[in-house]
């Protein structure tokens, strides 16, 4: 069975929240397993993330908050876990998180994602299904690919149930990563993270920052379209649909769409697949 899930980011206004919940309702018609909601560096969106998670949960489909440990104390994390339990949350996306500007890693009680996974298991047992991040093309701050694989295995052994990857545009990178971690004893599902292509300049800037490679042939075609947004969207839909089909045919257990709080681009790809 192929699983489907979608990611949102917290909005800054009440109006934005209402629009996001409309998007949630549009996506809910396709019976996703859960909606995840991101969490800002150092807990900077803590209250807004909680509010969005609560609002989504109340509409009947599971919400999975992101929870990072850098910049948050154990007491703050413990309190947030309790609050999430109280509103019926049973899945969390556990991350190290980005360092707040000017902050040092040494100042955090929990400094790595495997430590956060261990802490949640110690505090709550098996109450939460814990997702961790995977990086088929290597975490941008990892010293090398082998160390990054070791870090991933460490998170899994700490108690993770499943993994969601950073987005990528080369299916072979996903299959190679899965083969490597399977050989290292990892047997949890690894769900590909999917980023629809709708705006080349924003995508290029974001991808450069997070270490996701846009293959040269895709870059050059997108550059050739210039400001022709309709052609960019059409080409992007074709590229992502073809990649997703290859992933699913090759055994990927599902797809996790980075929606950027829009329903259209993700649904266009999904409808091509079903």
Which residues are catalytically annotated? 7
49 vs 66: CA distance, rounded Å: 8
Query: In terms of Cα–Cα distance, which of 106, 81, 79 is closest to 92?
Result: 81
**C-beta of residue 20 within 8 angstroms of C-beta of residue 8:** yes
DSSP 41: G
Question: DSSP readout, 94-128?
Answer: EE--PPPTT--GGG-S--SHHHHHHHHHHHHTTSS
CA dihedral 213→111→162→129, nearest 10 degrees, is: -140
1 vs 144: CA distance, rounded Å: 34
């Amino acid at each position: 069975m192929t699983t489907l899930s979608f990611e949102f980011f917290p909005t800054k206004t009440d109006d934005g929240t209402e629009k996001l919940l409309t998007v949630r309702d549009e996506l809910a018609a396709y019976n996703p397993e859960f909606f995840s909601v991101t969490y800002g560096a150092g807990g900077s969106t803590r209250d807004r993330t909680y509010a969005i998670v609560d609002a989504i949960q109340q509409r009947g489909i599971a919400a999975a908050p992101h929870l990072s440990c850098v910049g948050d104390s154990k007491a703050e994390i413990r309190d947030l876990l309790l609050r999430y339990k109280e509103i019926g949350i049973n899945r969390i996306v556990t991350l190290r998180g980005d360092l707040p500007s000017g902050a040092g890693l040494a100042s955090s009680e929990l400094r790595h994602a495997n430590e956060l996974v261990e802490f949640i298991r110690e505090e709550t047992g098996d109450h939460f299904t814990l997702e961790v991040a995977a990086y088929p093309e290597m975490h941008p701050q990892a010293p090398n690919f082998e160390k990054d694989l070791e870090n991933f295995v460490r998170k899994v052994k700490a108690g993770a149930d499943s993994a969601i990857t950073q987005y990528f545009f080369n299916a072979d990178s996903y299959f190679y990563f899965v083969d490597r971690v399977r050989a290292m004893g990892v047997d949890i599902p690894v769900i590909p993270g999917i980023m629809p292509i709708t705006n080349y300049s924003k995508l290029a800037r974001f991808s450069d920052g997070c270490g996701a490679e846009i293959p040269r042939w895709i870059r050059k075609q997108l550059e050739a379209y210039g400001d022709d947004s309709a052609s960019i969207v059409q080409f992007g839909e074709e590229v992502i649909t073809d990649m997703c089909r290859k992933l699913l045919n090759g055994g990927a257990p599902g797809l996790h769409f980075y929606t950027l709080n829009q329903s259209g681009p993700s649904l266009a790809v999904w409808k091509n697949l079903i």
